Amino acid sequence: MAPLVSILIPAYNSERWIAETIKSALNQTWPRKEIIVVDDGSRDQTLATARRFASKTVAVISQENQGASAARNKALQLCQGDYIQWLDADDLLSPDKIQRQMEAGDVAGQSGIDQRRWPLGHTATGRQ
């Protein structure tokens, strides 16, 4: 069974982008994922927009405004994944981003891969 990847999305006043961000997470080709959106007391329609996606795969949490770090920490506390993909509320993922990163990790025998597909702990020269 493929490892579970948690896609964690802290959000604050992101009504303009949140739907597309969640869609990009849902459209990942990786077979096992959970998406956790933590709305940090938005004053716009971020929470209502995110709740339209609530499902078995997408959890939407609301908390009073405590800042981005608190929203990230809440998402981290709630996630169940073997791996974590942080995603800001105004960013998008290419559909195969997680798939490619996970496959690169398998090939390298690493449990962590950075955004450039380098195993964590390695420099650009490949040295540890």
Q: Longest Cα pair distance anywhere in the chain, in angstroms? A: 47
Residue 22 domain-assigned? yes
Domain membership flag for residue 79 = yes
Domain harbouring 19, CATH code: 3.90.550.10
> What are the tens digits of pLDDT across the range 104-114?
876 445 555 55
What is the strand order of the sheet 58-63 is part of? Answer: 58-63, 33-40, 5-11, 83-86
pLDDT per residue as tens digits for the range 30-62: 999 999 999 999 999 999 999 999 999 999 999
Residue 63 lies in a domain: yes
Give rounded-to-5 percent helix, strand, coil for the chain: 30, 20, 50
- The gap between the terminal CA atoms of the chain, to the nearest Å, is 30
- Residue 27 binned pLDDT confidence (cut-offs 50, 70, 90): very high
SS3 state at 84: strand
Specify if 69 maps to a domain.
Answer: yes
Q: What is the pLDDT of residue 14?
A: 99
Whether 51 maps to a domain, the answer reads yes
Q: What is the pLDDT of residue 104?
A: 82
Contact 36, 64 (CB under 8 A): no
Q: Is residue 86 part of a domain?
A: yes
Instruction: Look at residue 102 and tell me if it is in a domain.
Output: no
Q: What is the pLDDT of residues 60-84, one digit of tens each?
A: 999 999 999 999 999 999 999 999 9
pLDDT at 96 over 60: yes
Does residue 91 sit within a domain?
Answer: yes
User: Minimum mean pLDDT among 26-30, 105-109, 118-122: which range?
Assistant: 118-122
- State the residue range of the domain holding 17: 5-95
- How many domains are there within the chain? 1
